[in-house]
Structure 1
């Protein structure tokens, strides 16, 4: 009960209401004490009227009047003359005087609290203004014990009443909060628990229904989160199925490529000059295809190895990638330009870096072929003290906004119709495996430029 939200609300509500009642109780006690003393002044004034009507009173009658007024003596000031009207023997001397005519609220509260916590019976003098302007002032002496007992009795009744009011208020407030807040929160928690049992089931996504603005906003946020998570899980399931299919295809394709690799040994022995010139490129392409199939199978087993870093001649990798895309261009008026410093070496996995560059050049070629007007593809390389840089740019139409938003996300970052977006996703992952970055440097109506950054030394990147 104490650890639940409803239990703590009930306890806190009761405590706060009690604090409010105490803040009311203290001034009430002060006001009760003031009214008690004013009442004694009024009684004493009424008793003094008997003496004003008859100058000589029987001592027994005078004592009875003072007992009824619960005072020891009465002093009236009329016409600037102070007159002892009624008096009797006092058991002890006056210890303190209280003037009610100009007492402030804080003074009354202070005196009331002092009297509440002082059990000693004392004689005090009380001064006030007579009612109905029957003189300038009236003064009486009285005991404090009856006053304190009356204050305690009054305070006890007030505290009991306050406690009852606090409990009733707390229960009513608790029931209201339970209906308006706690019950809807439990409903949201129930939705979350049911959704957690089968997050792939879109029927379990919460439908906002709360009437409270803040709670409805929480339900809306939860609905968005659950919708995104459900879509992500479905996408993950599709990727898992696709990975399984790709692994099977790669397995069979590897066997086919291995057989083709055996035939190239005989082709290399041909005396035809054209065959001799093309055979090494064919062998290299088939070898890369076999390596790709093996890597795909390793990835399907979640065992894809990291890059094997060696010093590779960048010019050769770029020429191989560009040569393959030139053949794919056909009769399209696409011009390929390479600007690579002679003998430039980079520390990378040659096969993986080839795949990255080939993917970027292929995307550029497809973008230019898509507009049917040709253009230019440029591959440039450079280096700084901390990193190597490779830029692949084209004069195509630029990337659409949707493609830029999900640029390196599989199946969402495709820039052309029918594209899967896997090329850039794979390229970015391979570059990341080298400790580098693949970034979109710029794209607009005049073309697009991607930049590969490979770190030197400890891997600290410095974008050129």
Structure 2
């Protein structure tokens, strides 16, 4: 024996959609944050490279400034006067200012080289002022030549350090540019990876979501095609998606309602046809039965033997039963014409109890417990319904103890009135209660199945409902609800006037 199929695991489409959208949004956010961070880092590296290139050019200018300082010293030696001393001092000051501009943000190696340039510039300036200029004034050319050699060595040292500092800045600028390129490359790789991951996620999730939608919708389509083809038993299989399961359940309920409606229509048409035929038959046989009863009663009066009178009485009773069936058929097939008017509900129910078959006081007795109220109904039709229900209750309780009374109860319900008929009979089986008010359905051997159907038609003609329920403790309880029939005090006084 094959094992039963495992139950479907329910899920919510909105949660799946929310999860997919959240993942895509998270990927976009992560990609955006990473792109912004790498962009900022790349921008910082580019700005750093630019600053280092500027610093490299400034470092290169240090070499030019150092040579300008030396050139004015050389001019002083050549001209053998102090005409270039002022220019020499200006270039010394300019070199000091450029060294001060380069100092912020330098690492230890670059700062050391910068300090060496400044130290050599100061030594060169001191050599110019303490050795070269006094030797020129003394015309000691040997000392001038010796001091010039020392100055030339200092200038070479300054230019060497300036060139080394420029190369240092160039190397750092190139490293910063490489970092910027790496950041840009990383951003491109990350963006490509995120796009690929998002595309893959969208493809996988899209396929799953499409199957989540397409499978139930295809099932709905197949069932609709089967129903269109005439298969009224087709139903949508259980759906795992909670949202679509509600649609499938509503679709199945609609098909159930459609099947019931169709069955009711077929039954109604069948009953209508039967009713029309039965009404015709009842109309045709009602007159002959009346003639037969008339002759039977005449014969009973003229009969001399008691046996013959008893037999004629039996014939009259059977003919009366046939006549009652014919009248019930005619009443069922005709739409009831109501003549509503204000009546006292308590008096109406007591009058109906008095008109029941059998004299008052016959076991089981009928007790009326009605709340006084004025209602607008057709009193003859409502009395007919109550009499029919009380008669059925009396037949259901025949043979029971005298203490099991039949109760006719009346109560106000909002703007309406409720009538209840309660008995202590054998009760009505549950399967019979569902068909109790159908025409030609009866649980009695001698019943026609039309009495309760006529009651149902009369109550519904008043806009009310009638139902049968089991009575607590045993027996049956018929409940008639007549909404909107209650008359308030002001209207009651006007109607009575």
Give the TM bin, normalised by the shorter chain: 0.5 to 0.7
The match for 2:215 is 184
1:322 to 357, 364, 374: 357
The match for 2:82 is none
Greater length-normalized contact order (CA 8 Å, ≥ 6 residues apart): 2
**Residues 244 and 321 (structure 1 numbering): CA distance in 2 closer, same or farther, change over 3 Å?**
farther
Question: Partners in 2 of 1:236 and 1:244 — Cα distance?
Answer: 12
Residues 1:201 and 2:232 aligned together: yes
**Residues 317 and 217 (structure 1 numbering): CA distance in 2 closer, same or farther, change over 3 Å?**
closer
Question: Partners in 2 of 1:249 and 1:149 — Cα distance?
Answer: 100
Residues 1:237 and 2:266 aligned together: yes
1:296 to 332, 335, 352: 332
- Determine if contact 1:400/1:415 at 8 Å carries over to the other structure: no
The match for 1:173 is 205
Cα offset for 1:190?
0.8
Question: Partners in 2 of 1:37 and 1:417 — Cα distance?
Answer: 104
Stretch moving more, 373-382 or 167-176:
373-382
Question: Partners in 1 of 2:486 and 2:288 — Cα distance?
Answer: 39
The match for 2:423 is 394
Contiguous gaps of at least 5 residues in structure 1: 1-8, 50-55, 61-71, 87-139, 299-303, 327-332, 460-464
The match for 1:445 is 473
1:364 to 367, 382, 393: 393
Cα offset for 1:293?
2.9
Question: Partners in 2 of 1:388 and 1:217 — Cα distance?
Answer: 39
Question: Partners in 1 of 2:416 and 2:436 — Cα distance?
Answer: 22
- Determine if contact 2:469/2:478 at 8 Å carries over to the other structure: yes
1:308 to 339, 343, 355: 339
* Cα deviation digits, residues 380-434 of structure 1 (max 9, x gap): 4668798776543322244555666x487649x9888999987556534422322
**Residues 442 and 211 (structure 1 numbering): CA distance in 2 closer, same or farther, change over 3 Å?**
closer
- Determine if contact 2:421/2:478 at 8 Å carries over to the other structure: yes
The match for 1:433 is 461
Question: Partners in 1 of 2:295 and 2:444 — Cα distance?
Answer: 40
Question: Partners in 1 of 2:356 and 2:435 — Cα distance?
Answer: 22
Question: Partners in 2 of 1:217 and 1:205 — Cα distance?
Answer: 14
Question: Which TM-score applies when normalising by structure 1?
Answer: 0.52
- Determine if contact 1:14/1:167 at 8 Å carries over to the other structure: no
Indicate the SS of the match to 1:245. Answer: helix
- Determine if contact 1:364/1:377 at 8 Å carries over to the other structure: no
Indicate the SS of the match to 1:308. Answer: coil
- Determine if contact 1:382/1:388 at 8 Å carries over to the other structure: yes
Query: Whose helix proportion is higher, 1 or 2?
Result: 2
Question: Partners in 2 of 1:147 and 1:422 — Cα distance?
Answer: 99
Question: Partners in 1 of 2:409 and 2:179 — Cα distance?
Answer: 101
Question: Partners in 1 of 2:445 and 2:46 — Cα distance?
Answer: 97
The match for 2:76 is none
How many matched pairs?
A: 357
Residues 1:256 and 2:256 aligned together: no
Cα offset for 1:353?
3.0
Question: Partners in 2 of 1:346 and 1:216 — Cα distance?
Answer: 48
Cα offset for 1:194?
1.4
Cα offset for 1:163?
5.4
Cα offset for 1:242?
3.0
The match for 1:21 is 28
- Within a 5 Å distance, the mapping from 1:332-347 to structure 2 comes to 335-337=364-366, 339=368
Stretch moving more, 384-393 or 359-368:
384-393
Indicate the SS of the match to 2:338. Answer: coil
- Determine if contact 1:438/1:452 at 8 Å carries over to the other structure: yes
Question: Partners in 1 of 2:443 and 2:389 — Cα distance?
Answer: 12
Cα offset for 1:448?
3.4
Question: Which TM-score applies when normalising by structure 2?
Answer: 0.50
The match for 2:44 is 37
- Determine if contact 1:73/1:141 at 8 Å carries over to the other structure: no
**Residues 399 and 197 (structure 1 numbering): CA distance in 2 closer, same or farther, change over 3 Å?**
same
- Determine if contact 1:257/1:290 at 8 Å carries over to the other structure: yes
The match for 2:169 is none
Question: Partners in 2 of 1:182 and 1:340 — Cα distance?
Answer: 61
The match for 2:487 is 457
Indicate the SS of the match to 2:478. Answer: strand
**Residues 84 and 437 (structure 1 numbering): CA distance in 2 closer, same or farther, change over 3 Å?**
farther
Question: Partners in 1 of 2:367 and 2:383 — Cα distance?
Answer: 15
Cα offset for 1:174?
2.2
Question: Partners in 2 of 1:322 and 1:155 — Cα distance?
Answer: 100
Question: Partners in 2 of 1:419 and 1:146 — Cα distance?
Answer: 106
Contiguous gaps of at least 5 residues in structure 2: 1-15, 66-100, 116-171, 303-308, 490-497
**Residues 286 and 225 (structure 1 numbering): CA distance in 2 closer, same or farther, change over 3 Å?**
same
Indicate the SS of the match to 2:471. Answer: strand
- Determine if contact 1:29/1:151 at 8 Å carries over to the other structure: no
